[in-house]
Structure 1
């Protein structure tokens, strides 16, 4: 192998982040007046670490995200009236339907949690990333000791 080929081989190394060397930050996102889908996709990208230069697809390099005012999230057009969440118990007649308005009234944090969870990878990595999401219905959260920074998202 020539000297030039050896240099080229060493210059083309790809950096792979390791879990121990990742610096994690805490972010606060205010969901008041934001669109659900746009908010969820931006949160999912932050949880994965796609905003960092050391992003590695197979490693958890993302940050923690705290969402406040989840009950004030919006949907586009007539979706607030028409959107329906469903699940099935796998038994005959086991379909359960709940509208967006009812979901916000009963469980105000769940629409954001469901939207973000479905945008994360499936499997152990996605479950690990989802644990870094904290959603609260009102403007208060118990994570002041982590000194979270305010994150302004579009949408």
Structure 2
């Protein structure tokens, strides 16, 4: 038996096949949507997944303003940031953040589910989030993906 024919195939930047995917966030729960989008960005749904390579797809999310949160999270969930000065910790509730920048709620949730290193930063650049139903990636012809069909 020829053991050289059983080599493990490892994807690299030249051999990876990236697609454009379109996800509609209307009525979707924020955490469930974010975890599935993070898997699409990471490439874990592909048989050629390699942990240290950006082998995921480019994802466009529309209708981010219509995402759902369960319970009292709209009023009680807080987002923290720090200005860099003493006493400079600022907090914002989810409803305030939705009014100010609806896309950032989905962006923050997805970014938290990606690796915290240079690969995670590169993967996050493959995500485009839009508050409304219009997006600027028509030229890429994104394939529509139903998030409920993904496991």
TM-score range, shorter chain: over 0.9
Q: Does 1:36 align with 2:16?
A: no
Equivalent residue for 1:24?
18
Aligned counterpart for 1:51 among listed residues 37, 41, 45: 45
| Structure whose CA Rg is larger | 1
1:123 aligns with 2:117: yes
Q: CA deviation at 1:98?
A: 0.4
User: Which residue of structure 1 aligns with residue 81 of structure 2?
Assistant: 87
- What 5-or-longer segments of structure 1 have no aligned partner? none
Shift of 1:13: 2.2
Tell whether 2:129 aligns with 1:135: yes
Match of 2:64 in 1: 70
Matches of 1:13 and 1:37, distance apart in 2: 38
CA distance in 2, matches of 1:101, 1:111: 10
**C-alpha separation in 2, matches of 1:38 and 1:104:** 18
Length-normalised TM-score, structure 1:
0.91
Measured on the aligned residues, the alpha-carbon RMSD in Å equals: 1.4
Is the deviation greater in 34-43 or in 83-92?
Answer: 83-92
SS at match of 1:40: helix
Structure 2's unaligned 5+ residue stretches are none
Residue by residue, what CA displacement relative to the aligned partner does 1:81-128 show, whole Å, maximum 9, x if unpaired?
210101123432111000000000000100110111111111211111
How many residue pairs match? The answer is: 149
SS of 1:19 mapped into structure 2 = coil
Matched, 1:100 2:94: yes
Q: What TM-score comes out, normalization by structure 2 length?
A: 0.93
